[in-house]
Amino acid sequence: MNWAYCTNGFSDHRLPEALAILADLGYNGAAITLDHGHLDPYAAGSAHEVALIAKRLGALGLGAVVETGGRYTLDPWRKHHPTLLDDDAGAAQRADLLSRALRIAADLGAPVVHLWSGVRPAEVPEAEAWARLVRWCERLLDEADRVGVTLGFEPEPGMLVADLAGYERLRRLLGGHHRLGLTLDIGHCRCLEPYDVPECVRRALPYLAHVQIEDMRRGVHEHLEFGAGEIDFPPVLAALDGYRGLVAVELARHGHAAPEVARRSIDFLRRAYERAGVDGAGRTAGEGRP
């Protein structure tokens, strides 16, 4: 497994420092959340900073993906606003951020940009919300094709595209576009999917571009440290065997203790992977052998 950590969990650290800590702890990569403190896509001189971070990633031997879930990146008053489901002016703001993220990802050598649909505005009928999402995704997929980066679309509880069924619907509406991958959040599978978590992983595997991981409880959308929720991780990691992208710990609200939380997280995941007993061909120990 290529363990990674989301930099939104290191918001009190400078990005180069956070990357160095992750490398020292043995992580293989970073899921870099574009925001005011880390690679602000609207800051003057951002291209120079991106070049420096690309060099830093190379020196540390870290892979990367680009995430776009900063809470107040576009609107200082409203979290995750505007979205692709808003009116043309608001949706264009979100699309501009995502286009910048695609170009930054290309410059970093990151193969994936993560995104989500947003919450459907109360005044927008569901059919119109889906039409808006498809229209803007078509434009973004054109840009993704131009720069050679995949969009990793994340189903998010409470949003228009909330679950795997919603992602599959969007994929059909976009003609199964080869640049529309899936960002699977393992905690979300426990939170709201009607299947057990390993089954969700197996269903998602054909589309996986990026994985986020943390513990969670049924019906409660709260990202928890490993062991504080209800997920049995060895079967989940066994189901993920064969996936070669990043598996990124997402604990955005744990930045006050980021180095120790990151240390505990990778230790837990390594132990869980060992307990999974996967042999590299998708089999648990003893399976398929005489």
Reference 189, options 150, 151, 235; nearest CA is 235
Domain ranges in the chain are 2-245+257-276
Sequence-separated (6 or more) residues with CB below 8 Å from residue 183: 112, 114, 152, 153, 154, 209, 210, 211, 212
Global pTM reads 0.94
Q: Determine the residue type at 256.
A: H
The CATH classification of domain 2-245+257-276, taken from the options 3.40.50.880, 3.20.20.150, 3.90.230.10, 1.10.150.300:
3.20.20.150
H helices present in 109-185, as ranges: 126-147, 164-173
Kindly give the confidence (pLDDT) of every residue in the chain, 290 residues in length, as a single tens digit, with 9 standing for 90 and above: 999 999 999 999 999 999 999 999 999 999 999 999 899 999 999 999 999 999 999 999 999 999 999 999 999 999 999 999 999 999 999 999 999 999 999 999 999 999 999 999 999 999 999 999 999 999 999 999 999 999 999 999 999 999 999 999 999 999 999 999 999 999 999 999 999 999 999 999 999 999 999 999 999 999 999 999 999 999 999 999 999 999 999 999 999 999 999 999 999 999 999 999 875 444 444 343 22
Residue 202: phi, psi to the nearest 5?
A: -65, -40
Reference 114, options 79, 62, 149; nearest CA is 149
